[in-house]
Amino acid sequence: MPHKFTQSECESAFLANPILCDFISCALQDAQLTEADEACMEQRDKRDSGTIYTLPAETFLKLQTIAARFAVECFEHIESATDLEPGDDGFRYAKEYMTHSRIGSTLWLAVTGSGVTFTDDGSAPCLIAMADWANGLHVESLYFGDDGEMYLMGN
């Protein structure tokens, strides 16, 4: 069985990069929804995407690397986005504030090409920059390997 990080190791990583937790949570939810299609129903009971604490180390590290690169390369844009007021000119479609949690889940949806991206809420320069960053990094999805563990496809 592949190595798994302990819960405290994961929590430390999430504290170091608050975007990471929801980036991984959204990825796992996306994988769970993909598995629920009709073609997979007979094997569905044998497969579980697990939790943010049960990914194989290889997958966790790849996701952590993406979120860390984003946090570093888009730091100023992230800070600007969390300062936006819903309804303001560059954030006119938003009904709620842009939080690190929301940035993490939007990042997953954006890098996988789901159609959801940062500019769905407006055209503030920070949102455009984060969307451009995500568009430049394409990740297919998470998938179940033959061993029943989750792995990252693409990137």
- The whole-angstrom separation of Cα 105 and Cα 94 is 15
* 2 domain residue, yes or no: no
* Vertex 24: Cα angle to 13 and 78 (nearest 5): 75
- The whole-angstrom separation of Cα 13 and Cα 62 is 13
* 103 domain residue, yes or no: yes
Q: Which tokens in the block code for residue 111?
A: 């890098």
* 40 domain residue, yes or no: yes
Q: Which tokens in the block code for residue 145?
A: 């390997």
* 123 domain residue, yes or no: yes
Q: What confidence score (pLDDT) does residue 75 get?
A: 97
Q: What confidence score (pLDDT) does residue 38 get?
A: 41
42: phi then psi, degrees, rounded to nearest 5: -70, -25
* 1 domain residue, yes or no: no
Per-residue pLDDT of the chain (155 residues; tens, 9 = 90+): 556 777 888 888 888 888 999 999 899 888 876 655 544 555 545 555 556 657 888 899 999 999 999 999 999 999 999 999 999 989 999 889 999 999 999 999 999 988 899 999 999 999 999 999 999 988 888 887 777 788 888 76
* 27 domain residue, yes or no: yes
CA–CA distances in Å: residue 10 to residues 55, 60, 65, 113, 119: 10, 9, 13, 26, 30
* 73 domain residue, yes or no: yes
How many folded domains does the chain comprise? 1
Range of the domain at 107: 7-153
Q: What is the pTM of this model?
A: 0.84
